[in-house]
Structure 1
Amino acid sequence: MPPGDRRFMYAKQYEITLPADYDMRIIRKRVADFGHLLDDRAGLGLKAYLIRERSSDGSPVNQYAPFYLWNDVGAMAQFLAGGGGFQGIIRDFGRPTVAHWTGIASVAGPGRKFVPRAASRRLTPLPVDPETEATGLGLTARIEQENAALALLARRDGVHTAALAIDPQHWQLLRFVLWSDAVPADEQATERYEVLHLSAPGLAELPNGRTW
């Protein structure tokens, strides 16, 4: 990416785990009624309104787990703490922990022209590399490998958007993929979701490839 075309990306997600007998139609109605409110939110790359239903696609829980890619950190902060929308979650469900990751790359796939119906998440711990040469570049080499794998994955039919991000507090690597249909059986995912709605006002402003 040319130096003048660097683009910012920050990922975040909160998970609201619900009782085993919770009627998930309540969440479906919530998204149907209010999901469109972020369809034109400045600074937002995309928000995927995600759910998991207990005993569906291997999920052990009922869960509402919206996922965001932001391209403006101020807009993200205003959403979380400035009355920009997150207060609705706090009011209705309490204040959940918000996981967040620094963006490394995002890639558009051939399914970008379709509305995504499913999503996958893979969280991978990044153990300390013993590095016999003590260069300190073991993490960099791992990220290069993951970037190459992300580019290959994004060529698959059905991929809408694929993103890679890192949590440097817990040293976890996130791979998040939106799919135009079901998540393929061979996709290595720690979680699989149904997408109820996609708000994507700044999709075109997300990085095309690495953020550096």
Structure 2
Amino acid sequence: MHAMQYEITLPADYDMGIIRKRVADKGHLLDAHPGLGLKVYLVRERGQDGSPVNQYAPFYLWRTAEGMNSFLWGPGFRGLSADFGRPVVHHWLGSGLAHGGAGVAGEADPTTATRDTVRLPEAVDPAEAVERALAELPADPALHTAAVAVDPSRWELLRLALWRGPAPQDAPGIRYQVLHLSRPELDRLPTGRHW
């Protein structure tokens, strides 16, 4: 599994209705993309949930590198780059995945998400940090899906959680609204530890 995200920070007075319309018009285009576990169309709006910015920040869990490559070198990412400029694409190696009661078998799509990233200090054993993060995945009935991933070039640990309804107040990290979920191969991503 590969985790990927890019963030497009928009002006403070940007009409976020433009992003909502873009997702409403084009979000379904990846609903059957080969190799894609899920794409969650995330936004932050200035002044909501503590966000200091307006931001469009899609997040992906890829089942295959081929699926990720076909997206990055294909028309969808080209179109986004033509409209907003080419963003930096962050990439993490998948380390674990869990589904909550609202996950793969659940009927309701997530409406909010949290993303937490932490640098792993030199003295911290990365394997132990990943094991701890996996053990700490929330056991909340509103949890849809949670993932743990690591960027070994920066030794950054990422935790993403998708929630049906508002994210719990104690959930760490940045809070997002979910505009759409594409999940063509979510049920094919392995759960638990990925090594």
Task: Calculate the TM-score normalised by the size of structure 2.
Answer: 0.96
Contact map agreement 1:129 1:139 (CA 8 A) in 2? no
Q: Which residue of 1 aligns with 2:3?
A: 11
Contact map agreement 2:43 2:176 (CA 8 A) in 1? yes
Query: Structure 1 residue 110 and structure 2 residue 101: aligned?
Result: yes
Q: Which residue of 2 aligns with 1:39?
A: 31
For structure 1, the 5+ residue unaligned runs are 1-8, 131-137
Q: How far apart, in 2, do the equivalents of 1:142 and 1:68 lie? A: 22
Aligned residue pairs: how many?
192
Q: How far apart, in 1, do the equivalents of 2:152 and 2:101 lie? A: 31
Contact map agreement 1:48 1:68 (CA 8 A) in 2? yes
Query: Structure 1 residue 202 and structure 2 residue 189: aligned?
Result: no
Query: Structure 1 residue 161 and structure 2 residue 155: aligned?
Result: no
For structure 2, the 5+ residue unaligned runs are none
Within the candidate set 171, 181, 184, 2:155 is matched to 171
Q: Which residue of 1 aligns with 2:167?
A: 183
Within the candidate set 75, 90, 93, 2:84 is matched to 93
Contact map agreement 2:37 2:63 (CA 8 A) in 1? yes
Within the candidate set 111, 130, 133, 1:146 is matched to 133
Q: How far apart, in 2, do the equivalents of 1:125 and 1:58 lie? A: 22
How far residue 147 of structure 1 moved from its aligned partner, in angstroms, is 1.4
Q: SS of 2:117's equivalent?
A: strand
Percent identical residues: 55
Q: Which residue of 2 aligns with 1:123?
A: 117
What amino acid maps onto 1:13 in structure 2? Q
What amino acid maps onto 2:78 in structure 1? Q
Q: SS of 1:143's equivalent?
A: helix
Contact map agreement 2:130 2:148 (CA 8 A) in 1? no
How far residue 111 of structure 1 moved from its aligned partner, in angstroms, is 1.3
Moved over 2 A (4+): none
